[in-house]
Structure 1
C-alpha cells in the first residue's frame, strides 16, 4: 500500500491541485496531511473542497487553530492578518471541516503503526521539529512504543530519516516551501518497505502571488518565488 503525505498547504489551491495530480499519477491509496490547511494565501474554501473531494485526511495545524479561534499573539503581523482575513471568508462547511480535524492521527494502516502530528508529540501545534533533532533518544522520549512511521509538518522543510525500525518524515510544504526551493513538496511512502520517495513540482506562483496581493500583504506572495 502506498500513501501520499503532504503538509502546510496554507490555502494555496493552485499548488495543491498540482500536488494532487502528482499523487494520482503515483497511484497512492490514500493521502495524509500534517496540518495547516489554511492561512497565508487566498483560497481557503477551495483548498478545503479539494481535500474533501480527494478524501485527504488531515490533522489540525497552528494556523488552522488560529483561524478557528483568536489569533495567537506570537504570530507575525502578516500571519495574523491572513488568519483574521481567512476567518471572515470561510463558508459554514469549511468552518465545520476545520473544526472536525483531530490533533493527531495514531492508527494502524496496512499493518504499520502510523503517527501524524503538526508540531511535536509534546506540543502538537507549535513546536518545530527539525531533522537534525530526531534521533534514538528523541523517539524514546516521545513514544513508549515507537510507531513504524512518524510524520511531522510545521517547519516547511522536508527531511526523511530511518532510525532503527522507524521512518521519520516531514514532506515539506505544499503551499509555502521554506528551503529555498519554490516548488511544492510532497512524499509517497510504501508501507510494505517503509521506503519514501520525495517530489517537487512546479505550479503557477505568479497567479497565486497576484491573487494574494488583492487581499493580503503582497510580500506573502513575493516570498513564494524564493521558497522562503
Structure 2
C-alpha cells in the first residue's frame, strides 16, 4: 500500500511560514492525503523566532534531523557551516548566528544538540509480492556532509554515488533552499535498469527559487511497485502562501540585517 510523507526543511526561525505549512499539512492529514510528517532540519537562523519554531516542532513530536545551522547553534559556535560567497554575505551571516546564539534558550540549544543527522524509513511490500523493501533516507545536505550542497545541476553520477554509498533508493534532503526531483536510472547487479529518486524539499522559511511562498514536498512511495518502475516514487511540491510581510517586518525591527527581510520578499 502506498505511503505518503509530508517532508519539509529549512524553516530558519520563520514562524509565520512554519505555521502556514503545518496548517496545510494538518488539512492533508485530515483528508488522508498524508500519513506522516518529517523535518530535515535548519530550524533556526536568519529570522526572529528560533525558540518558537523549535517549540512548535517539539509540541507536535515531528521527527527531525539536524541541519548545519542547528548543529552550530546547538554547540554555541559562531560557525553555521554555511558557504557564503561574498564578504557582505559572510558579514551578514556572522550577524545572524550571533543574534541566534544570543536569542535561543538553553532548552532550545539542548534540543538542537540532541537531533540526529540521518533518519531512515524502510517500506516493505507484503511478503507474497516478492518485492524488495524501499529504503528512504532523510539527510540535510547529503549523507556525506550535513552542509554539502546537492544543487540540481550537480552531476547525476555524484548524486547516485552519495545514494549508493548510503544504501538509499529514495533520498530526501534540503540545504540549498531550491526544490527539485530527479528520477535517476542506474543498472543493478542483475543488469536491470532501476530508479533512484533524489528529492530536494525546498525551504519553508527562506526560499531561494524566486517564489516567496513556503515550500515542502509530498512524497508517495509504493513498495508494491518494483524499482524498475520509476512511478514507485512520486513527488508533489506544495507551495503555501503566508504573511511574508509579518516575517520581513519582524526582521527589520530586530538587530538582524534588513537584507534578510528583502530576501524573504523576493524569495
Q: For 1:171-182, what aligned pairs fall within 5 Å after superposition? A: 171-182=201-212
Q: For 1:122-137, what aligned pairs fall within 5 Å after superposition? A: 122-124=144-146, 126-136=147-157
Q: Provide closer, same or farther for how the CA distance between residues 143 and 18 of structure 1 changes in structure 2, counting only shifts above 3 A.
A: same
Aligned length: 226
Instruction: Please give the secondary structure, in 2, of the residue aligned with 1:58.
Output: coil
Q: For 1:48-197, what aligned pairs fall within 5 Å after superposition? A: 48-69=54-75, 70-72=77-79, 76-109=90-123, 111-124=133-146, 126-136=147-157, 138-140=159-161, 142-144=163-165, 146-164=167-185, 165-192=195-222, 193-197=232-236
Deviation at 1:109, TM superposition (A): 4.6
Question: 201, 204, 223: which is aligned to 2:240?
Answer: 201
Query: 2-side partners of 1:17 and 1:137: how far apart?
Result: 35
Partner residue in 2 for 1:19: 21
Instruction: Please give the secondary structure, in 1, of the residue aligned with 2:100.
Output: helix
Q: Provide closer, same or farther for how the CA distance between residues 18 and 141 of structure 1 changes in structure 2, counting only shifts above 3 A.
A: closer
The question of whether the paired residues in 2 share the 8 Å contact of 1:5 and 1:171 is answered with: yes
Query: 2-side partners of 1:149 and 1:66: how far apart?
Result: 27
Residues 145-194 of structure 1: CA deviation (Å, up to 9, x unaligned):
64221011110000001113221101100000001111110111112242
RMSD: 1.9
Deviation at 1:141, TM superposition (A): 5.1
The two structures have a TM-score, normalised by structure 2, of: 0.78
The two structures have a TM-score, normalised by structure 1, of: 0.91
Partner residue in 1 for 2:130: none
Question: 245, 253, 264: which is aligned to 1:214?
Answer: 253
The question of whether the paired residues in 1 share the 8 Å contact of 2:213 and 2:241 is answered with: yes
The question of whether the paired residues in 1 share the 8 Å contact of 2:142 and 2:162 is answered with: no
Instruction: Please give the secondary structure, in 1, of the residue aligned with 2:253.
Output: helix
Gaps of 5+ in 2: 85-89, 125-132, 186-194, 223-231
Is structure 2 residue 41 aligned with structure 1 residue 35? yes
Deviation at 1:57, TM superposition (A): 1.6
Q: Which has the greater radius of gyration? A: 2
Deviation at 1:90, TM superposition (A): 1.6
Instruction: Please give the secondary structure, in 2, of the residue aligned with 1:113.
Output: strand
The runs of at least 4 consecutive aligned structure 1 residues that moved more than 4 Å come to none
The question of whether the paired residues in 1 share the 8 Å contact of 2:251 and 2:261 is answered with: yes
Instruction: Please give the secondary structure, in 2, of the residue aligned with 1:143.
Output: helix
Query: 2-side partners of 1:144 and 1:131: how far apart?
Result: 19
The question of whether the paired residues in 2 share the 8 Å contact of 1:67 and 1:84 is answered with: no
Query: 2-side partners of 1:25 and 1:141: how far apart?
Result: 34
Is structure 2 residue 9 aligned with structure 1 residue 7? yes
